[in-house]
Amino acid sequence: MNLRQTLLTVVLIASLLIGSCAPTMLLAQPKETTPEKVPQTYRSRNFIVHSDVTPEKAKELLERLETMLSLISTYWGQPNRKTIECYVVDDLKNWPSGAIDPAALDSILGQAGITLAKGISNGRQFDMNAKVYAVSDLGVPQHEAVHAYCAQTFGTTGPVWYSEGMAEMGMYWKKGDASVNANPIVIDYLKKAEPKSLNEIVNGEEFTGDSWQNYAWRWALCHLLANNANYQKRFRPLGLALLQKKNTSFEQVYGSMAEEIIFEYLLFLENMEAGYRVDLCSWNWQVRPRKLRGIRPTKIDVEAKAGWQPTRAQLIEGQEYEFTTDGTWSILENGEPVNADGTETGAGKLVGIMFEDYELSEEIELGALGKFTAPANGHLFLRCRDSWGALADNEGEIEFQIREFDADAKPLPMPGE
Ligand SMILES: [Zn+2]
């Protein structure tokens, strides 16, 4: 084997094409004709941006990119080592011919973006340079910059579901804010469509730039796993291992929790809206239910600022139960405190649901005091009724007591007694 052959076997020219940010294809607005502007070059700590947007917009874009980069490099625990070069196009007519890489032209014309990464890789070691080409609006430069950071930092961007799901998250990421703020069209689609199975998202025959709908599913899965208290601890190491091409898979990491993840994924799709907080609505799998016996009630505190919460009470279909509550809560920051009957419109009312075999019953209207017949067998969960996207500003908790109804027993205390 001569030297030339040795070099050829060891050194591979690696090339990644990371494709169009699909949501923008749907959302592209008809452009106002912009006055002719010559592309200028702008720099910040980690970025060099060539763009024909106004200097004010360019400055704002650099700030958004730096903020996003700081969030994602903290998340992955790897500082950005190389400047990320971006071509951000407002109107292609403003650009001299040849200024944009021909491989990126279709994406720009399609009102989307693409990241072209080229370099040398011999397995473990790599030296990649990524260039971002993106239209100027709707978060496309941010989405593509996530790919560029991954390509330059890890030599790869990971499998499609992870790469595109995380790039979409990067586009929406706000510091200290875990709430859902995806495009309303994306949220609306996810709520109405037949849910795509996790297996289809993770293992489907899918490719980058395929369709905005596929991007929506990838975002939903990554957002859930990154924010849900039950899964987030495993999600970051899984992502890092995928980026570092270590031998791992979604199935290896989450296989033992598959039923739990599917249950929470479907619940997320059902209740998702702007402002929804996956972290506040994580299901509590630790608390095990018990059958209620005798006249001693089971007591539990229910927080206003959370999704369904376990009571430990395993109810039996057809059996009558009585309950009482104590305390007040509010469904707005510094809002008017109300008891578990809620307001006149029913907001802030205590409601229940039964969980059995990863299925939920219809909601049960409870309130501050009363009796009800269990509609099914199952573990009773409770929450303060409020829009799913508006839990974060709720305050207070209410004590709840429940037992089998017994006409001869001393009545439970009245609310506030
Ligand atoms: Zn992408």
CA–chain centroid gap for 65, Å, is: 19
Domain count, the chain: 3
Residue 384 lies in a domain: yes
pLDDT at residue 283, as a whole number: 98
Amino acid at 84: I
Cα 220 to ligand 1 centre (Å): 15
CATH (domain of 91):
3.40.30
In tens, the pLDDT along 191-212 reads: 999 999 999 999 987 777 778 8
CA of 138 to the centre of ligand 1 (A): 13
Among residues 135, 157, 179, the one where a domain terminates is 157
- Same domain, yes or no: 239 and 373: no
* C-alpha dist (Å) from residue 148 to 33, 41, 153, 208: 30, 18, 8, 14
Residue that is last in its domain, among 141, 157, 173:
157
191 and 125 within one domain: no
Same domain as 24, residue 148 = yes
- Identify whether 178 is part of a domain: yes
Query: Residue 229: which domain range?
Result: 158-283
Kindly state whether residues 320 and 398 are assigned to the same domain: yes
> Does any domain span residue 317?
yes
- Distance (angstroms) between ligand 1 centre and the Cα of 17 equals 10
CA 183 to ligand 1 center in whole angstroms = 16
Asked if residue 100 and residue 46 are part of one domain, the reply reads yes
Give the CA diameter of the chain.
97
What separation in Å is there between the alpha carbon of 173 and the centre of ligand 1? 15
In a domain, 413, yes or no: no
**Residue where one domain finishes, among candidates 111, 134, 157:** 157
* Residue 9 confidence class, pLDDT cut points 50, 70, 90: very low
Binned at pLDDT 50, 70 and 90, residue 1 comes out as very low
Residues 152 and 230 in one domain: no
Q: Are residues 18 and 56 in the same domain?
A: yes
The verdict on residue 197 lying in a domain is: yes
116: pLDDT confidence band, cut at 50, 70 and 90?
very high
Give 106 Cα–ligand 1 centroid separation in angstroms: 14
Per-residue confidence (pLDDT) for residue 31, from 0 to 100? 56
- The mean pLDDT of 384-410, rounded to a whole number, is 96
101 C-alpha vs ligand 1 centroid, how far in Å? 17
Residue 10 has pLDDT above 50, yes or no: no
- Tell me the pLDDT band of 34, cut-offs 50, 70 and 90: low
Could you tell me if 144 and 49 lie in one domain?
Answer: yes
Q: If you measure from the C-alpha of residue 52 to the centroid of ligand 1, how many angstroms do you get, rounded to a whole number?
A: 22
Say what the pLDDT of residue 321 is: 97
Residue 249: CATH number of its domain: 1.10.390
Interval between CA 328 and ligand 1 midpoint (Å)? 47
Centre of ligand 1 from the C-alpha of residue 112, in Å:
9
CA of residue 20 to ligand 1 center, whole Å: 6
SS3 129: strand
Same domain, 273 and 295: no
Residue 282 pLDDT: 98
Summarised one tens digit per residue, pLDDT across range 242-281 is 998 888 999 999 999 999 999 999 999 999 999 999 999 9
Position 182 pLDDT exceeds 80 = yes
- Exposed (0-12), middle (13-18) or buried (19+): which is 102, by Cβ within 10 Å? exposed
**339-369 per-position pLDDT tens digit:** 999 999 999 999 999 999 999 999 999 999 9
Between the CA of 266 and the centroid of ligand 1 the distance, in Å, is 25
Measured in Å, residue 371 CA sits from the centre of ligand 1 at: 53
Distance, CA 113 to ligand 1 centroid (Å)? Answer: 8
For a pLDDT cut of 70, what percent of the chain falls above it?
A: 91
Q: Average of pLDDT values for 298-317? A: 97
CA of 364 to the centre of ligand 1 (A): 43
Distance CA(364)–CA(320), nearest Å, equals 13
Of all residues in the chain, the percent with pLDDT exceeding 90 is: 77
414 within a domain of the structure (yes/no): no
> Please, what is the average pLDDT of the chain?
90
For residue 29, pLDDT beyond 70: no
State whether 269 and 172 are in the same domain.
yes
139-156: pLDDT as tens digits: 899 999 999 999 999 988
Å from CA of 272 to ligand 1 middle: 23
Q: What backbone phi and psi angles, to 5 degrees, belong to 210?
A: -75, -60
Residues 87 and 168 both lie in one domain: no
In a domain, 55, yes or no: yes
DSSP string, 293-334: -SSPPEEEEEESSSS-EEEEEEE-TT-EEEEEEE--EESSTT
308 and 256 co-located in one domain: no
Q: Is residue 409, in this structure, part of any structural domain at all?
A: no
